[in-house]
Structure 1
Amino acid sequence: MSDVSGDAIGNRKLRITWKSFLLHDVTEVSASPRPTGHLRLIQTTDLHMHLMAFDYLLDRPNAQQGLVALAPLIATARQQVAASVLCDTGDFLQGTPLADDIAGRRMLPHPMVQAFNTLRYDAVTLGNHDFDYGLPYLRAVLADLHAPVVSANLKADGNAPFAAPWTLVTRQVACSDGQTRDLRVGIIGFGPPQIADWGAAWLHGMVTTDDIIATARQEVPLLRAAGADVIVALCHGGPAAGADSAENAALQLAALPQIDVVLMGHMHEVFPGTAFGPMPQVDPHRGTLAGKPAMMAGAHGKEVGILDLTLSVAAPDADGSQPARPMWRVVDHRCKVIRPSEPAVAPSILSRLLHNRLALPHAATLDRLRQPIGQTPVALTSHFAAIGADMTAPLLAQVQIEAISAALAGTPHAGLPVLATTAPFRAGGHGGPDNYIAISPGPLRRRDCAAIVPFDNPICAVLRRGWQIRAWLECCSAFFATLTPGRTDQALLNPRMAPYHFDTLHGLQYRIDLTVPPALPGAPPSRHRRITELTLRGRALDDDALCVVATSSYRAHGGGGIIAVPPQDIVHTSRDGLRTMLMQALHRSQGAVASAPQPWTFAPLPGTTARFTSSPQARDTLADHPHVTFAGLQDDGFASYRIAFCDVSGLHAPITAAI
């Protein structure tokens, strides 16, 4: 049994009150006449190299974030039960400026791998961002990992499996009839099939991917035949339907008969939880997908997931003998996702190990992030990104437009209008009330660029007709709820859509009519449109007009299921990522930033108001938004704001900051 003792990670003096940690606690009750036993699954996911309790983008400690903060919770979770399995569902290698420094130093063994080894993980699967430093680096990092890496649908170097598709972990389970039996847990891993496309610029064709469900149908029976009593799928994806289901196939995995449990990631949300609204076969309260237990343990080392399974086992044969293989079945589950409420009072072995290894790269990272690379005359914030006032978006749009225009010079596409997309990454949500961009007037530092562009993805130039651009905007407008005219204090936002899927297209002007329901991806076109008064250079955008749209490689290759672009319509992919391009542009312009108009506004709705949340700090900018008022503080640390849907076309000050 691969447990970690409290001594091993310094948990003796930690005062743990499980009730204070509880975010979601779900219990299913199902009686069974057969003997029963219990297995605990412990999960981390989307750590994104949040190891130490430090926030590099805010340049301050954060005692409730990072794997070090989760380590005592993991130890206690193991100590409480006789049989447990600890897994990670991917995206652990990249995501902080410290990760970039470690990759640049080629530091091996990798500190995250050392942490996994210290905590004695039982299995790990890979996410798309684990490939962001290239395949040779990932191979070198994983060579030191003690836990098996499972990845069934990823291949490298031709058609060879990149890792083992699955593994078997055996636990001894004490059953209710007084007997102890072996339980063989089969663990199989899956990554987004778009990994090869999203990382094409640095993977150079060395990685190929297969469809998740097709692969599962092939591999899961083999895992069962190898002796698995219970099969747990580690899916770096969440539940989705339609075009997004290829990327987020957890629901379809759960529907396969031989899969018993799905542990999810990629979406940076907590499941079960309120972030997931009603979907067929998805129960965000009971914590099930297609009737199977499922869990997603947040992101960035802020939560750990604990899923307790009750399993029934076949009773003795009629002659009193035991069957050759116990036949196990999940009959009950209990799920909770917990956060650390306070730091450990004594340093653990893990924290001491990481402090010693990370002292130099940590100091070097802070020195680099604090370097000024530009100046901003006004505050740059994303507090009101939900209503179109993302002060950093025009800056990013201008960088993309200039880069793509230069790249297409002298090509057949040189004369086409160039548009650019932006979407808010730091806009509250699961990241909490500090998860916003808040840059004061004055120096613009490297850490600010990392906050503005958390993922340094390449930019693609895609060809789009006017009708396709309209469909793109209609799909993204599902970020907002449908409002009833004349009603007050309605919910403005759709809780089931992440802010990073709300694209704004710069270079256009348009309004969003919230009385019209959003168009669903793949739905037939409707004569009722949310996007109105759509213009390009002061003239209505013709359905047949051809434009170039600069967008991230993630979006261009189907990320989020927002658009579907055939390969021939991707006419250029940048060599550098957007963050790198931003810093280069600031250097060329000597760091000065200016202003640009807001691309869109809401259509007027007299007598109608809606409420949304943002940081309490957003109150400081209300003078620039006379149609928005403060509506009170909330218990979760956010503030509530009320928006009135008057004609706001002349109310907004220009958004700073195009170069």
Structure 2
Amino acid sequence: MSLLPRTFRSLLGALGALGVLLWLGCHGADTAPVVHSTQPRHDAVRLVVLHTGDWHGYAFASQGKRGRFGGVVAAAAAVRRERRALGDRVLVLDAGDLLSGPPAVGLRDERGIEGAPFVRLWQMVGWDAVELGNHEFDAGRDNLEALIGILEPTVLCANLVTATAEPGAAPLPRTGAIPGTVRWTVLRRGGVRVAILGLITSELPSIVARKPLEGLATLPAIAAARRLMPALERISDVQLVLSHCGIEEDREIARAVPGIEAILGGHSHTTLRRAEVVNGVPILHAGPHGRHMGRLELVVAGTGDDRHVVRWDWQLLDLPRTPEIEADTPPALLEAERALRRRVEALEREVVGRLPQRLTRAYYTDSPLGGAVCEALRAATHADVALVNSGGLRSDLGPGPVTVADLVTAFPFGNAVVRAAVRGDELRRIIAHNLRVLEHREHGMLQASGYQVRYRVGPAGAIEILSIRIGDRPLDPAARYVVASSDYVFTSQPHKYLGTTLAPVVGSGLTVREAVQAAIERGRFAPPAAARHVRVGAPARAPAAATR
């Protein structure tokens, strides 16, 4: 276990940070190793922890200015290199979000498990443990449990509990709340016992559909870590947190939970060029989509129960895909990659229509793609108004041919199109709620079509609605309007996006992707000509790109 006092570890963190500044002053490299050390000892063991996160199905190499890089084959090459050099003194970890991305991760296997073809390729890298990400829930609970059943690495998640579990401070059992998961694992590498605690974002209930979380509750990550870390310190020499919480929550964990040697994180898609040290704890994020891999080197000294980390280095590794790597890759891995690529290429050849211009996304303002999607939902349901969450649009579309692969990438979630009848006064409250979200940037706004609202913001930030028009007429508070959206907005997260609940909500038999495809095939996929949210008396905000 780590026996360094917290004050000493904090001092070492400060010295390590000073070392970084001096190193960079001499070398000026973005991905320079960060060094945190005391005097090495003769009984020291050197371990390497490789880590990634947020793959989102990016299985294949991308073409960059300096050649091809990233993807499963390149990641596997980095792992082979370290294991050839260090043998069993290497750990390979992933911080979650394997699903929801390009077409490769939307494919199903012969059992109908979404994401399984990608996961089978991905796990040929040789992972030791993976933390659940929020997007693992996107295809439903049954699909998630089926995926866990085929995953070879240990699947972690400490802060999901059964909804009836005692929320107190008693130790949590090792077995996780979802079948096939555990809260932590202890792996022995080079004779050193390394504990890995898995944590998922505390915001899970507000970003995942309701049904996959039925029967589960999400403990705050800090609370779960505090309950588990003392026991892990007793049974291990090194304690790592594998986090799908995002860098902001990782910082809070580092400040609040003693005993952690390092936090290996994901969820926020943060690419750190240098380690961030908070309260003496390195926070390490290697970025999304399999483009990079983090390399944490630990030197552990001592014997028996008196073992502790005396030095750590961290680098952000590039993952090149060179001819030399190709030649060194096992044939079975290359064939598995080719088989997955062939299935993706079939989707890329299936053209559904053409777009004359690029339709882009935004998170906090009206976007061309958001408006076009809402118009497609209105047409599919004969609705007066349509709303869609900005985060549900995952890539831009056009210009030129649009393929099935493009639609799977842009709309990976399979959300159903639904509608509800809403009184005018209630619709006004929903629009006002969306304006507050837009102005205060609480989360991604609802994209809209079918209405235009004009408003102003007072000196104290109060929002005053000046007018709302539904189509070409003023909103009638007593009238009933048909409003279309996705089941995610109307039934899973209504309070977040609408500020209220709607009933009854009626299905359409279509998914958002199918409604969009139908509009593109008809040549009728375009945003409204006019802005939907017009702020009066101040310049409009600059568009912000959609994030995770």
CA distance in 2, matches of 1:93, 1:289: 30
**Which residue does 1:171 correspond to in 2?**
189
- Determine what percentage of the aligned residue pairs are the same residue: 22
Specify the code of the residue in structure 2 equivalent to 1:52: F
CA distance in 2, matches of 1:446, 1:108: 16
1:48 CA displacement = 1.7
CA distance in 1, matches of 2:300, 2:480: 59
CA distance in 1, matches of 2:464, 2:194: 50
1:609 CA displacement = 12
CA distance in 2, matches of 1:297, 1:468: 39
**Which residue does 1:262 correspond to in 2?**
263
Q: 1:529 to 1:169 in 2, by over 3 A?
A: same
1:554 CA displacement = 7.1
Indicate yes or no: 2:232 matched with 1:223: yes
Q: 1:52 to 1:388 in 2, by over 3 A?
A: same
Indicate yes or no: 2:527 matched with 1:527: no
Contact 1:86–1:122 (CA<8 Å) still a contact in 2?
yes
Q: 1:471 to 1:133 in 2, by over 3 A?
A: closer
1:613 CA displacement = 10
Indicate yes or no: 2:538 matched with 1:578: no
Q: 1:455 to 1:343 in 2, by over 3 A?
A: farther
CA distance in 2, matches of 1:109, 1:198: 20
Indicate yes or no: 2:406 matched with 1:448: yes
Q: 1:123 to 1:593 in 2, by over 3 A?
A: closer
Indicate yes or no: 2:397 matched with 1:420: no
Indicate yes or no: 2:345 matched with 1:366: yes
* Structure 1 residues 250-649: aligned runs within 5 Å: 250-254=250-254, 255-270=256-271, 272=272, 286-311=275-300, 313=302, 324-328=304-308, 330=309, 333-347=312-326, 352-357=331-336, 359-376=338-355, 378-382=356-360, 385=362, 390-401=367-378, 418-423=385-390, 436-440=396-400, 443-458=401-416, 466=428, 469-477=431-439, 501=444, 503-509=446-452, 527-529=460-462, 535-537=468-470, 550=485, 553=488, 568-569=501-502, 572=505, 577-586=511-520, 590-597=522-529, 598-600=531-533
Give the TM-score taking structure 1 as reference length.
Answer: 0.61
Bigger shift: residues 541-550 or 352-361: 541-550
1:584 CA displacement = 4.5
Indicate yes or no: 2:58 matched with 1:50: yes
| Structure 2: unaligned runs, 5 residues or longer | 1-26, 166-176
1:185 CA displacement = 0.8
CA distance in 1, matches of 2:436, 2:515: 29
1:391 CA displacement = 3.0
1:194 CA displacement = 6.1
1:169 CA displacement = 1.0
Deviations 1:198-241 (A, max 9, x none): 6657748476544433333333333333x12222111112033x
Q: 1:79 to 1:563 in 2, by over 3 A?
A: farther
1:293 CA displacement = 0.9
Secondary structure of the 2:227 match is helix
Contact 1:153–1:209 (CA<8 Å) still a contact in 2?
yes
CA distance in 2, matches of 1:29, 1:369: 48
Secondary structure of the 2:105 match is helix
Secondary structure of the 2:306 match is coil
**Which residue does 2:70 correspond to in 1?**
65
CA distance in 1, matches of 2:138, 2:461: 42
Secondary structure of the 1:381 match is coil
Q: 1:288 to 1:200 in 2, by over 3 A?
A: same
1:187 CA displacement = 0.7
Number of aligned residue pairs: give it. Answer: 495
Contact 1:401–1:420 (CA<8 Å) still a contact in 2?
no
Contact 2:61–2:321 (CA<8 Å) still a contact in 1?
no
1:349 CA displacement = 6.5
| Structure 1: unaligned runs, 5 residues or longer | 1-19, 56-61, 173-181, 241-248, 274-284, 314-321, 407-416, 428-434, 480-496, 517-524, 615-659
Indicate yes or no: 2:107 matched with 1:101: yes
CA distance in 2, matches of 1:343, 1:309: 29
Secondary structure of the 2:32 match is strand
Contact 2:292–2:316 (CA<8 Å) still a contact in 1?
yes
Specify the code of the residue in structure 2 equivalent to 1:439: P
